[in-house]
Amino acid sequence: MRLGTVLKCICLLSLISILAGCSLAPGGTSLAKPETKAEFPSAEPKSNPCLLVDSGHDRLVVYRASAPPLIFTNIAVGAAGVKDKLRRGDDVTPRGTYRVAWIRRQSKFVHFIGLNYPSLADAQRGLESGRIDRQTFERIKHAHLRGEIPPQDTPLGGFIGLHGVGKGSLEVHRMANWTAGCVAVENGQIRQLTDLVRLGTVVEIR
Interval 109-163: pLDDT, tens:
999 999 999 999 999 999 999 999 999 999 999 999 999 999 999 999 999 999 9
> Mean pLDDT over residues 18-26, rounded?
42
Residue 96, CA distances (Å) to 17, 84, 174, 181 in order: 31, 8, 24, 13
Q: In DSSP terms, which residues pair with 61 in a beta bridge?
A: 52, 71
User: pLDDT tens, 32-59?
Assistant: 455 434 444 434 444 689 999 999 999 9
Q: What average pLDDT does the segment 8-30 reach?
A: 39
Task: Tell me the pTM.
Answer: 0.81
6 vs 128, which has greater pLDDT? Answer: 128
Contact 116, 88 (CB under 8 A): no
Can you tell me the distance from the alpha carbon of 23 to that of 53, in angstroms, rounded to the nearest whole number? 20
Interval 166-194: pLDDT, tens: 999 999 999 999 999 999 999 999 999 99
Any idea which fold 5-116+154-205 has? L,D-transpeptidase catalytic domain-like (2.40.440)
Q: 3-state class of 56 per DSSP?
A: helix
pLDDT of amino acid 27: 30
Beta strands at 183-184 and 50-54: parallel, antiparallel or unpaired: unpaired
User: Omega before 118 cis (within 30°)?
Assistant: yes
Q: Which amino acid is at 62?
A: V
Read off the pLDDT of each residue in 56-85 and give the average, rounded to a whole number.
Answer: 96
